[in-house]
Structure 1
Amino acid sequence: MTLFLEQAVHFGPYRIYPGQRLIMEADQPLRLGRRAMDILLILLKHAGNVVSKQQLIAEVWPNTVVEEINLRVHMAALRKALGDGQAGQRYIITVAQRGYSFVAPYSLESIGQRPQNAPVESSGHNLPLRRTRLIGRKALVDSLVTQLPRQRFITLVGPGGIGKTTVALRVAEHLIGQYRDGIRLLDLAPINDPLMIAGHLATLLDLSLHDAEPLNSLALFLRERQMLLLFDNCEHLIDHVALLCESLLRGAPQVHILATSREGLRAEGEFIQRLESLDCPPPIAVLDRAQALSFSALQLFVERAMASQDSFELSDAELPLAVDICRRLDGIPLALELAAAQVPSLGLGGLLAQLQDSFRLLPHGSQATPGRHQTLRATLDWSFELLSACEQTCLRRLGVFRGGFTLESAAAVIVGEHIEPREVFGSIMQLVAKSLLSVDVGDEEVFYRLLDTTRRYALEKLEQASELPATRERHAERCLALMHQAQKNWEQTPTALWIERYARGLEDIRAALDWGLNTRGPQMLAIRLTAASTPLWQELSLLKEHGGHVRKALALLDAAPEPCPRLKMNLKLALGSACYHVQGGNEETIGAFVTARTLARQCNDVVGELRAVSGHMAVNLSCGNYQMALEQSQQFDQLGLHGDPVLSLSTHRLRVLALHFAGDQSRARLNAEEVIQRMAQSGHLNRFTHGFGVQYDQSVAALTILARILWLQGQPEQAWRTAQQALDIALQINHGTSICYTLALSGCLIAHYNGHTRTARELLHLLLEQAQKNSVLLFYTWARQYAQVIDGADAQASQRPGIGLIKEIMVTLGPGFIDDDLLQRADSGAAGWSTAEILRARADTLLAVDCPVKNCTAETTLLKALNVAKSQGALAWELRSATSLARLWQRQGRYRQAHELLTPIYQRFTEGHATPDLIAVRRLLDELQDNVRI
C-alpha cells in the first residue's frame, strides 16, 4: 500500500501516524525505539507482501553493516511491544527462508489533527521504552493513575515475577507530561549498600550532595519541585527506602512516590496496593475458546507462545491443556512466560507433563503469597533444568552483570572453564528465546539484561557452582577492557556519543570496584580499573565519588609488594583533579600533583609530567600564585612535546592563562587568538580534548580566557559574545565542570560588568545549580560569593572570600572586599591582573571621607593604579582608575585637568558605550565640560 502523510493506519488497538512517526494505543502513545518504528513502517508500507530480511536491513540500516541477528532481535522486540499474538491476533509473521510480512487487517483514515495525547518527548523522564504489552492490568493501571495524585505515596507489593515493575512503568508512562519537573525512575536492584541510595537518587536529579545529611539535602532540593519518583525493587533496602520516602514526603509537598517491593515499606503515609496473579479460568467450568481467552493468564500464555513459535495456534482440543498450565503456574506472569517459551520444543502436552512432574509437591492453585513464591521458584528450577549444560553455565555467569550488556561483554564474562567462545552466541539466543534473558533494543546497539528475579536466581546458582570469584574476576577484567577502549576513543569520539556508549557500564564498574577494593577480590585488577575509569568519572562529573575510590586504590597500592610508579602516577593525577574541584587547592591537591610529577620523571613519561605540571599550575592560579604559574608554563618548552600537536596546543593555552593572570594582557591576547586559530585549523574547536591535570573542554577554556582578556582590553561587547560562545559549547557537550568553569570565570562576571543584571542573575543560578550537581565545590563557593553582589544575597550568610583568585575577583565587583592582605599583594606585584583594581578600591575607600590627607594618599594610589593598568594593557581598569581620579579632581575643582585625563581614555573605546562604566564616564565628562565652560 502507499502511505500518505495525511493518512493514519488503523489495526487492532493501534493507530499509526507515519508522517509523525507516532503510534497510539487507544488514546495513549506507545513509545517504540527508532529502529522498531522503522521496521513497522516498512512492513505496513508492504502490508500483505513478504519483505525480505535483506531489504529490511538495507532500509533500516542504510549506512551500516549489521548481522541478521540485529534484525531478529529488533523484530522480536517489536512483536512483544505490540502484543503480537494477544487474543490470537497475529500482526507480523515470519515466512521461512524469505522474510517477514504484516498480515493483520488494517484500514486507512484521514488525519484531522495531531492526536490530543500525542507525546512531546523530552528529558523530563528517564523511563525505558516499552518492552512488552501489558495484559490483564488495565483497570489497575487506570486506578493507580487516578489515585497517585491523591495518595502521594503508593507501594506496589507482590512476589517476584508478578509484574510489579511492568505495572509501575505503565502508570508512570501514562503520567508523562503531568508533572512539571518530570519523572525519575531509580532501580534499586543493583544497589547493595544502603548508604548509596541517596547518592544514586541525587545523580538522577542532577544534584550533588555535599554535606553529611543527604536526606535533608534531597528534601530541600525537591521542596519546590513537582515530580514523580519511581523506586523499583525496594525489598532488600526497606528500612532505608522508608526513611528516604518519609523525608521527601515531609519536605517536598509536590513530590509523589510510586514504589515496588515484595513487601510493604511500613513507612508513614504509605498506601499498599497488592498485585494479584492474572486471572485463570476456573477449574470446573467448561469454556469455549473465546470465553477462555477472556482470562488474562491465558491471554499472556498464548501471546508468548505465539511469539516463541510462529505456527502456534491454540486449538479447541488443546484448550484444556493450556488452561491447566495457567492454573498450575498460579497466573504468575514471569512463570507463564518461562513456560510459554518451551512450547516450540515440548508442545502443550509435553509442557503440561513436565510441569506435573516438576510441581507434584506444590499445592496447586494456592493463592497465598508463599505458594506463589514456591511456584515461581519451581518454575525457575524447572526452566533451568531444561537448559543445556552450556546454557546453564551462561545463565549463572551472566548474573554478575548489574546493568545491560552486549554480546561481546557476555562472551568475555562467560568464557572460561567448561565453555568455549563459539558456544556463547547460540546459548545467549536460546536464553532470550526461553524468556530467561531480556533484550533492550537501542537505536544503535542491542543490550541484554536479566530481570532482578532471574539475576538473583542466577547468582545463587553461580555461588552453588563455586564459580562466583572467577566469574567476578572476568567481569572486572571486562570492565577494565571497556575502560581501556574508552580511553583510546576519548579523543576521537564526540562527547555525547562517548558518554552514551560507556556510561551504561557505570553500575558494573561500581560493582567491580566495590568487590575488588574491599579485599574480596584481586586488588591489583581493581586498582587498575580505578585508574582506567578516570575519564568516565570525569565526563560524568562524579569526581567526589571517584576520589573515594582513588584513595582506597592508592592505599592498597602502597601496601603492594611490587612498586607500580606509572599506575600510582595516574591515580595521583586523578586524585589531584578530584580534590581540586571538590576541596580546592589544599595540601592534598598540591601533594597529589607534586607526587605525580616526581613519578612521571621516574617513568620518563613526558605526557604524565605535563599533566602534573598543568594540574599544579591550575592550583597555583586558583590560589593567586601567578608568577609561580607563569614559571611553570615556561617549563613546558623544556619538557619537549615530541611534535604532538594536541599537547602543544594544550600547553599553549595554559601559557595564555598564566600571562593573563600575571597581568600581561597584550601577549595573552596574541597567544589566545593563536590558540583558537590553531584549534579551528586542526578541527579541535568544539572538540573535547583530554589528558591534563584539571579537566575542562579545551575550546571552552580558551574562549573563556579570551573573553576575560577582551573585556580588560576595553572590548566589552566582543567579550560578551565570546563568553556566550564558550557557554554555548559547554552546554552543548553538557560537561559539568566546563560549564562551571566558564560561568565562574567569564559568563557571570562579564554579564555583571556590562550591566546585564537579569542575565547575570540567571547565569549565577545556573552556576550554583551546575556546581552543586557536579560536586564542583570550588566553583559553588565562588558562586556563593558572587551572590552577595549579583543576587543581593545577605553578606552575613556567606563567608568572606578565602585566598587567591576569588578574593581578587570580588574586589572587581565592589570596593567593600578590600583588605590589608590584598593591598600587600598589590604593592608587591603578586596580584598581577587585579593590581590596578585593588589600588583603585583602596583609593575609593579613602575618598569616602573628604579628608585632605586621605585625598592626597588616594591621588597617589590612583596614579599608581593608572600606570599599572597602562603597562598591563588593561584599558577597562585604566578607565575605572581614571574615573575615580577625575571625580577626586572634580571635588577639588580641577575640572579641566579631570576632563583632559578622562577624555582620551574614553575615546579609545570603540564599543560598549551602554555599559555602566562608560555611561558613568560619559555623564562625568558632561559635568566636567559644563564646569569648564563656567
Structure 2
Amino acid sequence: MTLSHERAVLFGPYRIYPGQRLVMEADQPLRLGRRAMDILLILLEHAGNVVSKQQLIAEVWPNSVVEEINLRVHMAALRKALGDGQAGQRYIITVAQRGYSFVAPYSLEQVEHPPARPPKATNGHNLPLRRTRLIGRQALVDNLVAQLPRQRFITLIGPGGIGKTTVALRVAEQLIGRYRDGIRLLDLAPVNDPLLIPGHLAALLDLSLHDSEPMSDLATYLRDRQMLLVIDNCEHLIDSVAQLCESLLRGAPHLHILTTSRESLRAEGEFVQRLESLDCPPPVAERDRAQALSFSALQLFVERAMASHDSFELSDAELPLAIDICRRLDGIPLALELAAAQVASLGLDGLLTQLQDSFRLLTHSGQSALARHQTLHATLDWSFELLNTCEQTCLRRLGVFRGGFTLASAAAVIVGEQIAPREVFGSITQLVAKSLLSVDVGDEEVFYRLLDTTRSYALEKLEQARELPDTRERHAKRCLALMQQAQTDWEHIPTALWIERYARGLEDIRAALDWGLNARGPEALAIRLAAASTPLWQELSLLKEHGGYVRKALALLDASAEPCLPLKMSLKLALGSACYHAQGGSAETIGAFVTARTLARQCQDVVGELRAISGHLAVNLSCGNYQMALEQSQQFDRLGLDGDPLLSLSMHRLRVLALHFAGDQHRARVYAEEVLQRMAHSGHLNRFTHGFGVQYDQSVAALTILARTLWLQGQPEQAWRTARQALDIALQINHGTSICYTLALSGCLIAHYNGNTRTARELLRLLLEQAQKHSVQLFYTWAQHYAHVIDCAEAPPLPRAAVGLIKEIMVTLDTAFVDNDLLQRADSGAAGWSTAEILRARADALLAADCPVKNCTAETVLIKAINVAKSQGALAWELRSASSLARLWQRQGRYRQAHTLLTPIYQRFTEGHATPDLKAAQHLLDELQGHLPI
C-alpha cells in the first residue's frame, strides 16, 4: 500500500496515522520507540509482501552499521507492544531465510482532521515505553484509574511475577495529562539501604536534600504540587516506604501515591488492592475454542507462544494441553511467559510432561500467595534447568547488574571461568527468547535488563555457585572501563549524547563503589572507580554524593602501603570541586587543591598542576583574595601549555576572572572578548572545561564575567544580553553548577541593577531551586542573601568570617551592608573591583549624620571613590559615586560644581538610560539645571 498523510491504516484494534507517526489503540496513543515505529511503517507499506532483513536494516539504520540482533530485538518489541498473537491474531510473521511480512487484514480510512501528535512529555512523566500488551487486567486498571483520585494512596499487592508492575504502569499511563505536575516512577528494586530512599526520590524530583530533615524537604517541595508518585518494588523496604508515604501525604494534599509490594505496607490511609492470578479455563469445561480463549491466562500463554515461535498455532486437539498448562502454573503471568517460551523446543505435549515431572513435589491447594510463590520459584527452577550450562552461567552472572546493560557489558561481566566471549552472544539471545531477560529498546542502542524477580533468583544461584565475589569484581572492572571511556569521550562528543550514553550506568557505579569501598571488595579497583567516575558525577551535578565516595577512597588510599600519587591527585581535585560547592573556601577545600598541586609537581603532571591552581584560584576569588588569584593566574605562563588550545583558552579565561575582580576592567574585557572569539573560531564555544578547576561550562563562565565587566563599564543593556546568553547556554546543556554560577554572578545581579525587578526575582527563585537541587550550598547561601534585597525576604546574617566576594556583592546591592572589615579592605586595596562601592557606602553612612565635619570627610571619600572607579574603568561605579557627591554639593548650594561633575560622566553612557542609576542621575541633573542661571 502507499502510505499517505490523508489516510489512516486500520488493523486489529489499531489506527495508524503515518503522517503523525502515531498509533492509536481505541482512544489512547500507543507509545512505541522510534525504531519500532520505522519498522511498522515499512512493513505496512509492503503489506502482504516479504521485506528482507537487509532492506529493513538499510532503511531503519541508514547511516549506521548494526548487527542483525538489533533488528530482531526491535521487531520483538514491536510485536509485544502490538500484542501480536492475542486471540490467535497474527500481524507480523517471520519468513525463514527471507525476512518479515505484515499479514493482517487491514483497511484504509480517509482522514479529514488527523489527531495532533501528543507532545513529548519531558517533565510530564518518566514512564517507560510499553513493552507488552495488557491482558486480562483492563477492568482492574479502569477501576484503579477511577479510584486513585479518591483514595490518594493505593498499594497493589501479590506474589512475584503476578504483574503488579505491569498494572501500575498501565494505570499511570492512562493518567498521563491528569496531574498538573506530572507522574514520577520510583523503582526501588536497585535500592537496598532504606536510608537511600529519600535521596533516590529527590534525584527523581530534581531536588537536593539537607541531611538533617530529608522528609521535611520532600514534603515542602511537594506541598503545592499535584502529582502522581508510583513506587515500585517496595517489599524489601516496607517500613521505610510506609513512613515516607505517610509523611508525604500529610504534607502534600494534592499528591497521590500508587505502590507495588508483595505485601501490604500497613501504612496510614493505605487502600490495598490484591492482584489475583489470571483467569484459567475450568478443567471440566467443554472444549469450545472461543470460550476457552476468553480466559486471560490462556490468552497470555497463546500470545507469548506465538511471539516466541512464528509457526505456532493452537489446534483444537492441543487445546486441553494448553488449558492444563495454564492451570498447573496457577495463571501466574511470569510463569506463563517462561513456559510459553519453551513451546518452540518442547511442543505442548513435551512442555506439559516437563511441568508434571518438575512440579510433582508441589502439593499445594488453593490460590494462597505462598502457593503461587512456590509455583513461580518452581517455574524458575524448571526454566533454569532447561538452559544449557553456558546459558545458566550467563543468567546467574547477569544478576549483579542493577540497571540496564549492553551486550558488551554483559560479555565483560559473564566471561571468565567456564565461558568464552564468543559464547555470550548466542546465550543472551536465548535468554531473551526464553523470557528470562527483558529488553529495553532505545532509539540508538539496545539495553537488557533482568526483572526484579528473575534478578533475585539469579543472585541466589550466583551465591550457590560461589561465583559472587569474582562476578562482582568483573562488574566493577566493567564499570571502571566504561568510566575510563567516558573520560576519553568527554571532550569529543556533545554533552547530551554523553549523558545519554553513560548516565544509565549510575546505579551500577553506585553498587560497585558501595561494594568496593566498604571492605567487601578489592579496594584498589573501587578507589580507581571513584576517581574515574568523576565526570559522571560532575555532569549530573551530584558533587555532594561523589564527595562522600571520594573521602572513603582517599582514606583507603592513605592507609595503603604504597599510595598511587597520580590517583591521589585526581581524587584530591575531585574533592576540592565537591567541597567548594558544598562549603565554599573551607580549609578542606583549600587543602584539597594545595595537596593536588603538590602531588602534580611530584608526578611532573603539568595539566594536573594547572587544574589544581585553577581550583585554588576560584576559591581565592570567592574568598576575596583577588591579588593572590591574579598572581596565581600569572603562574599559568610558566606551565608552558600554550600549545594546547583548550587549556590555553582555559588559562586565559581564568586570567579574565582575576583581572575583573582585581579591578582592571579594561584588560578583563579585552581578554574576555579575545577568549570568546578564540572559542568560536576553534569550535570550542559551548564546550565544557572538563576536569578543570571547579567545573563550569567554558562559554558560560566566560560570558558571565564578560557580562559583569560590560555592566561595570557602563553598558547595562549589552551586559544583560550577554548574561542572558550565558544563562541560555547553561539551561540548554542543563548543567546545574553552571546554571548556579551564572545566575549568582551575573543574571540575578544585572537584572536587579537594571531595575528589572520581576526578572530578578524569577532568576533568584531559579537560583535557589537549582542550588538546592544540586547541593551547591555556596550559591544557595548567596541566593538567600540576595533575597534580602531583591525579594525583601529575611536573610540569614552574613557570617563574620565571610569577608570575601559575597559581602562585597551585597554592598553593591545595598550600602547598608558595609562594615569595618570591608572598609579596611577598601583602604588597603584588597577589595579590588568593589573598592569604589565600599567607599561610597562609607560616605553614605557619614552623610546620614548630616554633620558638617562628617560631610567634609564624606566628600573626600567620594572623590577618592570616583578616582578609583575611573582608574579601574568602572563607569557604573563612577556614576554612582559622582551622583552621591553631586547630591551633597546640591544640599550645600554648589549647583554648578555638581552639574559640572556629573554631566560628562552621564554623557559617556550610550545606552541604559532607563536603568535606575541613569534615571536618578538624569533627574538630579534636571534639578541642578533648574538652579543654574539662564
Classify the TM-score, shorter chain. over 0.9
The corresponding residue for 1:168 is 168
The corresponding residue for 1:725 is 725
Structure 1: distance between partners of 2:827 and 2:796 = 29
Structure 2: distance between partners of 1:119 and 1:884 = 55
- Cα drift, residue 803 of structure 1: 2.6
TM-score by length of 2: 0.99
The corresponding residue for 1:524 is 524
Contact conserved, 1:57 with 1:66, CA < 8 A, in 2? yes
- Cα drift, residue 117 of structure 1: 9.5
1:774-813 pair list within 5 angstroms: 774-795=774-795, 802-813=802-813
1:665 is the counterpart of 2:668: no
Structure 1: distance between partners of 2:893 and 2:182 = 64
- Cα drift, residue 853 of structure 1: 1.1
Contact conserved, 2:771 with 2:777, CA < 8 A, in 1? yes
- Which stretches in structure 1 are left out of the alignment for 5+ residues? none
- Cα drift, residue 468 of structure 1: 0.1
- Cα drift, residue 49 of structure 1: 1.2
Structure 2: distance between partners of 1:114 and 1:186 = 35
1:591 is the counterpart of 2:583: no
Structure 1: distance between partners of 2:871 and 2:542 = 43
- Cα drift, residue 562 of structure 1: 1.3
Contact conserved, 1:801 with 1:807, CA < 8 A, in 2? no
Residue 149 of structure 1 aligns to a residue whose secondary structure is helix
Residue 604 of structure 2 aligns to a residue whose secondary structure is coil
Question: Aligned AA for 2:545?
Answer: E
The corresponding residue for 1:269 is 269
Structure 2: distance between partners of 1:795 and 1:676 = 36
Contact conserved, 2:620 with 2:628, CA < 8 A, in 1? yes
The corresponding residue for 2:143 is 143
- Cα drift, residue 768 of structure 1: 0.5
Question: Aligned AA for 2:284?
Answer: I
Contact conserved, 1:366 with 1:372, CA < 8 A, in 2? no
Residue 257 of structure 1 aligns to a residue whose secondary structure is strand
Residue 914 of structure 1 aligns to a residue whose secondary structure is coil
Contact conserved, 2:803 with 2:822, CA < 8 A, in 1? no
1:130-279 pair list within 5 angstroms: 130-279=130-279
Contact conserved, 1:328 with 1:364, CA < 8 A, in 2? no
Structure 1: distance between partners of 2:122 and 2:613 = 42
1:762-781 pair list within 5 angstroms: 762-781=762-781
Contact conserved, 1:843 with 1:859, CA < 8 A, in 2? yes
Moved more, 412-421 or 106-115: 106-115
The corresponding residue for 2:932 is 932
Structure 2: distance between partners of 1:308 and 1:807 = 69
The corresponding residue for 2:758 is 758
Moved more, 838-847 or 507-516: 838-847
1:477-488 pair list within 5 angstroms: 477-488=477-488
Structure 2: distance between partners of 1:620 and 1:704 = 18
The corresponding residue for 1:42 is 42
- Cα drift, residue 933 of structure 1: 3.0
1:404 is the counterpart of 2:404: yes
The corresponding residue for 1:419 is 419
- Cα drift, residue 305 of structure 1: 0.2
The corresponding residue for 2:311 is 311
Moved more, 786-795 or 469-478: 786-795
The corresponding residue for 1:884 is 884
Structure 1: distance between partners of 2:194 and 2:294 = 43
Contact conserved, 2:785 with 2:796, CA < 8 A, in 1? no
Structure 2: distance between partners of 1:319 and 1:902 = 99
- Cα drift, residue 6 of structure 1: 1.8
Structure 1: distance between partners of 2:32 and 2:571 = 42
The corresponding residue for 2:850 is 850
1:481-496 pair list within 5 angstroms: 481-496=481-496
Structure 2: distance between partners of 1:286 and 1:631 = 93
The corresponding residue for 2:550 is 550
- Cα drift, residue 108 of structure 1: 1.2
Residue 767 of structure 2 aligns to a residue whose secondary structure is helix
Moved more, 523-532 or 107-116: 107-116
Structure 1: distance between partners of 2:395 and 2:449 = 11
The corresponding residue for 1:72 is 72
Question: Aligned AA for 2:189?
Answer: A
Moved more, 302-311 or 16-25: 16-25
Structure 2: distance between partners of 1:119 and 1:715 = 41
The corresponding residue for 1:567 is 567
Structure 1: distance between partners of 2:886 and 2:801 = 30
Question: Aligned AA for 2:79?
Answer: R
- Cα drift, residue 7 of structure 1: 1.4
Structure 1: distance between partners of 2:687 and 2:640 = 24
Question: Aligned AA for 1:385?
Answer: E
Structure 1: distance between partners of 2:584 and 2:199 = 22
> Deviations for 1:450-503, whole angstroms, at most 9, x for unmatched residues?
000000000000000000000000000000000000000000111111011000
Contact conserved, 1:328 with 1:365, CA < 8 A, in 2? no
1:537 is the counterpart of 2:537: yes
Residue 393 of structure 2 aligns to a residue whose secondary structure is helix
Structure 1: distance between partners of 2:582 and 2:24 = 47
- Which stretches in structure 2 are left out of the alignment for 5+ residues? none
The corresponding residue for 2:864 is 864
Contact conserved, 1:846 with 1:855, CA < 8 A, in 2? yes
Structure 2: distance between partners of 1:367 and 1:234 = 22
Structure 2: distance between partners of 1:831 and 1:218 = 40
Over the matched positions of the two proteins, sequence identity in percent amounts to: 85
- Cα drift, residue 115 of structure 1: 4.0
Question: Aligned AA for 1:814?
Answer: D
Structure 2: distance between partners of 1:322 and 1:33 = 33
Instruction: Report the CA distance shift for 1:448/1:120 in structure 2 as closer, same or farther (over 3 A).
Output: closer
Moved more, 845-854 or 339-348: 845-854
Residue 339 of structure 1 aligns to a residue whose secondary structure is helix
The corresponding residue for 1:333 is 333
The corresponding residue for 1:873 is 873
Structure 2: distance between partners of 1:641 and 1:603 = 17
Contact conserved, 1:761 with 1:791, CA < 8 A, in 2? yes
Contact conserved, 1:363 with 1:371, CA < 8 A, in 2? no
Moved more, 832-841 or 849-858: 849-858
> Deviations for 1:73-108, whole angstroms, at most 9, x for unmatched residues?
100010011100000000001111111111111111
Question: Aligned AA for 2:392?
Answer: Q
Question: Aligned AA for 1:560?
Answer: S
- Cα drift, residue 17 of structure 1: 1.1
Question: Aligned AA for 2:589?
Answer: T
Contact conserved, 1:574 with 1:693, CA < 8 A, in 2? no
Structure 1: distance between partners of 2:248 and 2:485 = 40
- Cα drift, residue 364 of structure 1: 6.0
Structure 2: distance between partners of 1:932 and 1:815 = 31
The corresponding residue for 2:706 is 706
- Cα drift, residue 120 of structure 1: 4.9
> Deviations for 1:207-234, whole angstroms, at most 9, x for unmatched residues?
0012311111100111111111110000
Structure 1: distance between partners of 2:207 and 2:797 = 22
Structure 2: distance between partners of 1:276 and 1:330 = 10
Moved more, 206-215 or 832-841: 206-215
- Cα drift, residue 675 of structure 1: 0.3
Contact conserved, 1:784 with 1:798, CA < 8 A, in 2? no
The corresponding residue for 1:617 is 617
Structure 1: distance between partners of 2:870 and 2:797 = 37
1:682 is the counterpart of 2:682: yes
Question: Aligned AA for 1:650?
Answer: S
- Cα drift, residue 703 of structure 1: 0.3
Contact conserved, 1:184 with 1:229, CA < 8 A, in 2? yes
Residue 933 of structure 1 aligns to a residue whose secondary structure is coil
> Deviations for 1:673-697, whole angstroms, at most 9, x for unmatched residues?
1000100011011122312120000
- Cα drift, residue 698 of structure 1: 0.2
> Deviations for 1:130-166, whole angstroms, at most 9, x for unmatched residues?
1111100000000111111110000000000000000
Structure 2: distance between partners of 1:495 and 1:796 = 37
> Deviations for 1:268-327, whole angstroms, at most 9, x for unmatched residues?
011100000000001111231111100000000000000000000000000000000000
- Cα drift, residue 114 of structure 1: 4.4
- Cα drift, residue 822 of structure 1: 0.5
- Cα drift, residue 834 of structure 1: 0.1
Structure 1: distance between partners of 2:758 and 2:16 = 45
Structure 1: distance between partners of 2:893 and 2:735 = 55
Structure 2: distance between partners of 1:92 and 1:7 = 21
Structure 1: distance between partners of 2:766 and 2:375 = 53
